[in-house]
Amino acid sequence: MQIDVLTLFPNMFETVMSESMMWKARDRKLLNFYAHDIRDYANNKWRKVDDTPYGGGGGMILKPDVVVRSIEAVKGDDNETPVILMSPQGRVFNHDIAVELSGHERLILVCGHYEGFDERIRQLAITDEISIGDYVLTGGELAAMVVVDAVVRQIPGVLGAEGAQHRDSHADGLLEGPHYTRPPEFRGLGIPDVLTSGHHGKVDEWRRREAIKRTWQNRPDLLETVDLTDAEKDYIAQLAQDKSHNDDD
């Protein structure tokens, strides 16, 4: 996969893309990543990329000629690649969107700054808009990093043989259950016996039930879209009954 990011601050990506799984993805030739400086496409000696808004108001607006020129230069003749604006007005990013985007051979992410974009940038050069949550950041760079990380870890081979397909939170609609490692006892706390039983079927069953329990506790809304067996529905009913009894006590 190739990911191109257009930004006013390309240096922000250097450390993130040179560490951990992002570095491994690039080292394994599974990811080509490029951060392009939008200022390089300004046609004035001051490399000016913004101007005051028509109609007045605070803040500065990114100029359409500079930004559209930068997108067209990076995109070239490629009309298939999504050009995604990082924007609080976009569709809210989630696991399903990460999987969707990982299916593309190339992505172009556009990071804003200042007060916002001239609307003609959207009309002429943008195919999608993504938000990482209902809040506003100083710029789109941090949001782009989140999207890149979530998308790249879906690429086969980035995380090794097992990949990110089954145990990640949200991969099957559920939050992840608890994990344990050595030592077997720490400050009086042990680990569930099933994890050392060697019985893989029982381990999988335990992990599924714990994932359901954690989802019910922290994000019960997610359970509305999860395909549950009758036994699992009974388990949730029992969790609710136990909680009710504890609250009464």
Q: Which amino acid is at 203?
A: V
- 0.75 surpassed by pTM: yes
Q: What is the pLDDT of residue 172?
A: 84
168 is catalytic: yes
Q: What is the pLDDT of residue 184?
A: 95
Domain 2-152, what fold? Alpha/beta knot (3.40.1280)
* pLDDT beneath 50, residues of the chain: none
Active-site residue identified among 115, 129, 149, 210 = 115
Active-site residue identified among 4, 50, 118, 168 = 168
Whether residue 183 is preceded by a cis peptide bond, meaning omega within 30 degrees of 0, is yes
**Which of 38, 29, 39, 61 lies closest to 111 in space, CA to CA?**
38
Concatenated DSSP letters of 6-61: EES-TTHHHHHTTSHHHHHHHHTTS-EEEEEEGGGG--STT---EEPPTT--SS-E
Q: What is the pLDDT of residue 167?
A: 57
Q: What is the pLDDT of residue 208?
A: 96
> Where do the domains of the chain lie?
2-152, 193-248
**Which of 175, 194, 176, 192 lies closest to 184 in space, CA to CA?**
192
At 36-77, the pLDDT tens digits run 999 999 998 899 999 999 999 889 999 999 999 999 999 999
Active-site residue identified among 153, 209, 214, 219 = 153
Q: What is the pLDDT of residue 231?
A: 97
122 is catalytic: no
| Contact between residue 109 and residue 86 where contact means Cβ atoms under 8 Å apart | yes
Active-site residue identified among 10, 88, 118, 141 = 88
Please give the class, per CATH, of domain 193-248. mainly alpha
